[in-house]
Structure 1
């Protein structure tokens, strides 16, 4: 498994804080508080698990851009080992602890079953083989990192920095250590709830990196629906293939918001069943089991076998 340590590089170093003077009761002069160590990017293999899933490789990532360490899980298709000259598209997914392993998921035992579904759809020739990359959320800082704007009451607004983590740190690592197709048309980004919101934001602001989006049950409500004007005011229609969905049991307000987003995308030039697919799932709720039940359809639209 590859190991990368960028500790000697200053490319991603955070700026140091100014010295603070503190009173020393045992001295006549003030002393300077030591400068904190700057964060440095490091991506290291995670500790091996005795019953590790086949073809699932785990890393511990310490970003130089955001302070929380997080796990990154890379799930490889069976073709990766069988076809050593082949390169593969990559699907980056937020809330990575909820994708593959029920021991790590927010609700124990409830995951997207992402690896199993990708394997099944590949074996059925419904999709092309893909690499799945799950980025674990930062726990208490999840709301901060998954929101593109700051809400006056709830805070947040670190979405741009989280995007830098993906674009400047993680994607270069994945492209260097795995046989990927790095171009935007072969790189997807997706998530649910706030993960859907940040995927939408990063797709529209960085279509030069992400060309396919999976927007499941998006939290359009955030900060008085501030994502909608941003999308409406984008100067040109970016080259994005978009999956969008909502469950009807998630609440009438959220269904209306997602309908409104669908209409906006049509007005901006997307075409249903060409570069946009919108699905409303009867009685589907807002949880991992519901998203797992339709992940096969997400894959079939974004990565069809040609």
Structure 2
């Protein structure tokens, strides 16, 4: 088994440990709901990061993030890496050029992560194709639509009610990496009236196995082409590296960029950044996390 294939396998099982050691943050404070109940998906931990000096006399924007157990504390992650989300957010919350914001970090459930993060509507026109059946995917097992219902109709109302946040689209954002990048884009395309922007780091455009044919990629790109919202309203951030799993992404991201250009997306509401030498891991995302934050949350 090649080292790259081993890495791919590990990446798809992004959080093998069902954490719930207590998370620590180096800046700000973390409120943890160990079992956020939902009518749509299994309950899971949700962590709400608040910046230093958080006050109900101020109003904050909200950034929703996937793979929440990987964001703050390397002591509790499966690979001993984390995004340093609290550190980057703390610095930018002190900037006069940035909106003040909180982070809502939703933990994944490793056994069903792919089913919750793969955009299920991308496959509705592919069910009858013979090539699709060879992929061995059970359409009925996909639950990303329910996952988004959980975010939009259960979690967001809870945050809006219990924290001093702006509830409008212009102050509501979503972000993730790899499959988390896919579900972030899917959230914005499915709920453009809820999310004002999405940051998609190292987006896993292959959909599943990056060494197979790109039937899933074709389905994803067709869906994106048909469902992009107004290029005058929404912010879209993409990035990618060229090492480990990210080595598969450059030509695929370039196809996405062409779709965005044809749809009228341009700066300052869209950017795609290439980071040569960056791998597909939390250390890489940590090193550049300030980039999507500044893009989404600049005043």
- Residue 62 of structure 1, aligned match among 28, 37, 57: 37
Q: Which residue pairs with 2:289 in the alignment?
A: 295
Equivalent position to 1:256, from 247, 251, 258: 251
Q: Which residue of 2 aligns with 1:194?
A: 179
Distance 2:216 2:72 in 1: 33
For residue 154 of structure 1, report the CA deviation from its aligned partner: 4.1
List alignment gaps of at least 5 residues for structure 1: 1-46
Deviation string 1:246-288 (CA, Å, 9 cap, x unpaired) is 00224543111111111111111110x3101110001101001
**Bigger radius of gyration:** 1
**TM-score if structure 1 supplies the norm length?**
0.77
Whether the 8 Å CA contact 2:65–2:106 is kept in 1: the answer is yes
- Judge conservation of contact 2:60–2:100 (CA < 8 Å) in 1: yes
Separation in 1, partners of 2:146, 2:92: 34
Q: Could you say which residue in structure 2 is the equivalent of 1:135? A: 106
Higher RCO, 1 or 2 (CA under 8 Å, sep at least 6)? Answer: 2
**CA distance in structure 2 between the partners assigned to 1:138 and 1:105 by the alignment:** 13
Q: Which has the higher helix share?
A: 2
1:265 to 254, 260, 265: 260
Cα distance in 1 for residues equivalent to 2:104 and 2:63:
6
Task: Pick the aligned partner of 2:226 from 210, 233, 238.
Answer: 233
**Deviation at residue 64 of structure 1 after TM alignment:** 1.5
The number of equivalent residue pairs is 254
Q: 2: CA distance between counterparts of 1:50 and 1:131? A: 17
Q: Cα 1:180–1:235, aligned 2, differ >3 Å: closer, same or farther? A: closer
Using the size of structure 2 for normalisation, the TM-score is 0.79
Change (3 A) 1:65 1:232: same
- Counting only pairs closer than 5 Å after superposition, residues 14-163 of structure 1 correspond to structure 2 as 49=22, 54-60=28-34, 61-67=36-42, 69-81=43-55, 84-108=56-80, 110-149=81-120, 152-155=135-138, 157-163=142-148
Q: How far 1:205 sits from its partner (Å)? A: 1.3
* Paired residues of 2:25 and 2:86 also in contact (CA < 8 A): no
Unaligned runs of 5+ in 2: 1-19, 124-131, 208-214
Q: Is the 8 A contact 1:90 1:130 kept in 2?
A: yes
Separation (CA, whole Å) in 2 of partners of 1:186 and 1:236: 17
C-alpha separation between the residues in 1 aligned to 2:202 and 2:158?
29
Change in Cα spacing, 1:200 to 1:90, as seen in structure 2 (3 Å) is same
Change (3 A) 1:86 1:51: closer
CA distance in 2, matches of 1:278, 1:235: 16
Tell me the equivalent position of 1:8.
Answer: none
